[in-house]
């Protein structure tokens, strides 16, 4: 099925949830409200005409001062049997950055959602184990947000002093000292 | 004999890695053990996180190229090619046919190189020393080929948006062809050593089984997915570069265990040799850069030093910035040696990516590690880590 055709069918089934359809270079993204995201994704996974069994990727995008709502969570879906793909973009508000987890549908979403939470602070409700994945567990702030300071936070990060102390301690093991 | 009354048992938590040879240096597994059986496995990653995606947001499309080298540093060429294809699709440009063939050649040579390193280290983890030495011998030859092509051995940055950096020489083609004639006999050597080796079989057959449905659900890709019997290869599903002009088979496993994943990769190397032979024989003549691509790619240094046009072009590119990309978003995936490597680029109409997301196969594979390890033995965890072929540079980005 062509991406535009899939997008049209989803829009027909969920007229209130689909905000718009973005079409670029033959790829389609269905922009949806976050409320019924789990229902839409479940249908895309279970319905034999779509059969999106492979979640290629899940990530966040921060449109600070460019768009309202500020965040989007992007799902890249693919069907191995039908060989078609579609992109779902769920809108997430800045005030309440949360939406339903889809780790129950695709197990691979587990870590992708953890990464999205780690980088953007978007909370995935009913996620089995929502923890930071790439950054240290006690890290403050969300690095991929557009307003995150590029040179890091102004204050010292937790444990900074301890690392410096360790560095001094280990100097005695260096050669020629 | 009477049973021991005072025997105490307790669950043991074992931290394996990050400083452990079989965990690639920067992967930590927290194993909860009952005797030698793994009850629960929790992987911890992020020790090599360098913020590649954040860095890309501050760079022009051209400047991002060296960032992609450092993802899967075992096969930098395939990362470069994947990134170039995504940006080309975004800009709506197409590389000339010769450049496409050259890229296919370097991608496949990289695949062989990556699989050789995988075979060497995986075999070493399991206890086979000789294969390690043999595989590195052949890999060294491939590194020499890359050096001849672009001057670099590891972080090559050779492909360009709209083509490749420089043309291949006849000497490169000749040496590559010699290698292709010789290499199948080398694969046979490796197989003679381990294919029916009893220790190898006992360590790999029936270990880390993952069913086809589970493998898809976990998002596995590449040989790790195909080992479970799923016929999904992006080179066949969405042919890019010159893949639609070559014939090759996709090796598929049956049982989805460590041994099947090993067999798949061995057969993939043979298929790569076949693809390379076809590419070398069919290599067309013509330009190596798309006519509209130089608008945002720096001209070659020798031309900057000898032609006024190129000098002006370089000057404007550095001072005024590159050509702006159209607004939009694009996801382009390629079949890297580890699996599906995808680049999702959001463009806001400037010369820099607004958001660049890298879908790294190793990240997904590490996430599926608990499902492979739990219920097995500690020794099997080593075989499992090796069989999913992860590179932590790519996983942590």
Q: What is the mean pLDDT of residues A87-101?
A: 89
Q: In what order do the strands lie in the sheet with A54-62?
A: A18-24, A27-33, A84-92, A71-79, A54-62
pLDDT digits (tens, 9 = 90+) for B350-374: 888 899 999 999 999 999 999 998 8
* Rounded Cα distance, B225 and A99, in Å: 30
pLDDT digits (tens, 9 = 90+) for A96-143: 888 989 998 999 999 999 999 999 999 998 989 888 999 888 888 888
Q: How confident is the model at residue B60 (pLDDT cuts 50, 70, 90)?
A: confident
pLDDT of residue B351: 81
Length of chain B equals: 397
* Rounded Cα distance, B297 and B363, in Å: 31
Contact A87, A75 (CB under 8 A): yes
Answer whether the bond into residue B18 is a cis peptide, omega within 30°: yes
Q: What is the pTM of this model?
A: 0.89
Contacts of B51 in chain A (CB under 8 A): 143
Calculate what percentage of chain B has a pLDDT beyond 90.
39
In sequence order, the 6+-apart residues with CB closer than 8 A to the CB of B360 are B71, B72, B341, B394, B395, B397
Distance from CA of A58 to the nearest CA of B (A): 9
* Rounded Cα distance, B306 and B295, in Å: 19
pLDDT of residue A153: 67
Contact yes or no for B219 and A24 at CB 8 A? no
Pairing of strands B28-34, A71-79: unpaired
Q: Which residue on chain B is closest to A136 by alpha carbon?
A: B46
In sequence order, the 6+-apart residues with CB closer than 8 A to the CB of B91 are B161, B296, B323, B325, B326
In this predicted structure, the answer to whether residue B321 has a pLDDT above a threshold of 70 is no
Strand partners, A99: A124
Q: What is the mean pLDDT of chain B?
A: 88
Pairing of strands A84-92, A98-100: unpaired
pLDDT of residue B216: 92
pLDDT of residue B3: 64
Identify the H or E element spanning B247.
none
Q: What is the mean pLDDT of residues B120-138?
A: 89
Q: What is the mean pLDDT of residues B285-293?
A: 78
In this predicted structure, the answer to whether residue A151 has a pLDDT above a threshold of 80 is no
In sequence order, the 6+-apart residues with CB closer than 8 A to the CB of B234 are B240, B333, B334, B335, B340
Question: Which of residues B46 and B19 earns the better pLDDT score?
Answer: B46
Q: B374, exposed or middle or buried, with CB in 10 Å at 0-12, 13-18, 19+?
A: middle
pLDDT of residue B1: 61
Phi, psi of A92 (to 5 degrees): -125, 130
pLDDT digits (tens, 9 = 90+) for B237-266: 889 888 988 989 999 988 889 999 999 999
Minimum mean pLDDT range among A5-14, A128-137, A155-164, B27-36 = A155-164
Contact yes or no for A111 and B367 at CB 8 A? yes
Contacts of A72 in chain B (CB under 8 A): none
CA distance readout (Å), A57 to A9, A107, A119, B70, B170: 22, 12, 15, 21, 41
- Strand spans (E) along chain B: 12-16, 28-34, 37-44, 159-160, 163-164, 328-335, 340-347, 355-359
Q: Which residue on chain A is closest to B343 by alpha carbon?
A: A57
pLDDT of residue A112: 93
pLDDT digits (tens, 9 = 90+) for B181-219: 999 999 999 988 888 888 888 889 988 899 999 999 999
Q: Which residue on chain A is closest to B334 by alpha carbon?
A: A56
Which candidate, B296, B43, B278, B213, places its Cα nearest to that of A54? B213
pLDDT of residue B42: 92
In sequence order, the 6+-apart residues with CB closer than 8 A to the CB of A161 are none
Which candidate, B59, B322, B354, B327, places its Cα nearest to that of A65? B354
pLDDT of residue B293: 63
pLDDT of residue B208: 87
């Amino acid at each position: 099925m062509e991406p535009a055709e899939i997008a049209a069918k989803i829009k027909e089934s969920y007229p209130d949830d689909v905000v718009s359809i973005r079409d670029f270079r033959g790829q389609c993204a269905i922009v949806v409200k976050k409320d019924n995201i789990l229902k839409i994704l479940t249908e895309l996974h279970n319905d034999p005409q779509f059969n999106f069994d492979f979640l290629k990727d899940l990530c966040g995008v921060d449109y600070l001062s460019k768009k309202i709502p500020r965040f989007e969570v992007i799902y890249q879906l693919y069907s191995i049997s039908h060989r078609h793909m579609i992109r779902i973009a769920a809108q997430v508000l800045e005030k309440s950055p949360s939406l339903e987890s889809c780790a129950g549908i695709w197990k691979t979403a587990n870590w992708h959602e953890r990464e999205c939470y780690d980088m953007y602070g978007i909370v995935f409700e009913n996620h089995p184990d929502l923890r930071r994945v790439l950054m240290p567990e006690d890290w403050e702030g969300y690095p991929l947000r557009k307003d995150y300071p590029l040179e890091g936070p102004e204050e010292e990060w937790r444990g900074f002093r301890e690392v410096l102390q360790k560095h001094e301690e280990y100097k005695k093991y260096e050669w020629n000292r | 004999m009477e049973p021991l009354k005072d025997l105490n048992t307790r669950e043991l938590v074992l931290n394996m890695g990050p400083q452990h040879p079989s965990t690639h240096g920067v992967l930590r597994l927290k194993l909860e053990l009952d005797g030698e059986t793994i009850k629960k496995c929790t992987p911890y990653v992020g020790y090599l996180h360098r913020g590649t995606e954040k860095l890309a947001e501050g760079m022009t499309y051209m400047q991002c190229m060296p960032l992609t080298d450092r993802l899967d540093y075992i096969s930098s060429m395939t990362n470069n090619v994947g990134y170039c294809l995504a940006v080309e699709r975004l800009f709506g440009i197409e590389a000339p046919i010769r450049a496409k063939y050259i890229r296919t050649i370097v991608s496949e040579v990289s695949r062989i190189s990556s699989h050789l390193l995988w075979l060497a280290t995986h075999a070493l983890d399991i206890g086979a020393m000789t294969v390690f030495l043999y595989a590195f011998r052949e890999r060294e030859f491939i590194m020499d080929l890359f050096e001849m092509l672009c001057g670099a051995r590891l972080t090559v940055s050779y492909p360009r948006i709209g083509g490749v950096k420089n043309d291949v020489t006849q000497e490169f083609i000749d040496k590559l062809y010699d290698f292709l004639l010789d290499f199948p006999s080398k694969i046979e050597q490796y197989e003679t050593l381990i294919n029916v080796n009893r220790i190898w079989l006992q360590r790999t057959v029936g270990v880390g089984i993952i069913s086809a449905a589970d493998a898809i659900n976990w998002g596995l890709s590449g040989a790790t997915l195909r080992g479970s019997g799923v016929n999904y290869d992006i080179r066949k599903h969405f042919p890019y570069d010159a893949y639609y002009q070559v014939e090759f088979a996709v090796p598929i496993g049956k049982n989805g265990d460590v041994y099947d994943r090993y067999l798949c990769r061995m057969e993939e190397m043979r298929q790569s040799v076949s693809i390379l032979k076809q590419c070398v024989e069919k290599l067309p003549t013509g330009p190596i850069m798309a006519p509209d691509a130089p608008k945002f790619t720096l001209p070659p240094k020798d031309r900057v030093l000898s032609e006024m046009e190129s000098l002006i072009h370089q000057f404007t590119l550095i001072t005024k910035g590159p050509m702006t990309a159209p607004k939009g978003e694009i996801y382009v995936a390629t079949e890297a040696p580890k699996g599906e490597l995808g680049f999702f680029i959001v463009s806001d109409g400037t010369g820099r990516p607004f958001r660049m997301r890298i879908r790294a196969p190793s990240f997904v594979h590490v996430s599926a590690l608990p499902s492979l390890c739990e219920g097995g033995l500690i020794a099997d965890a080593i075989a499992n880590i090796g069989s999913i072929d992860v590179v932590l540079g790519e996983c942590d980005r």
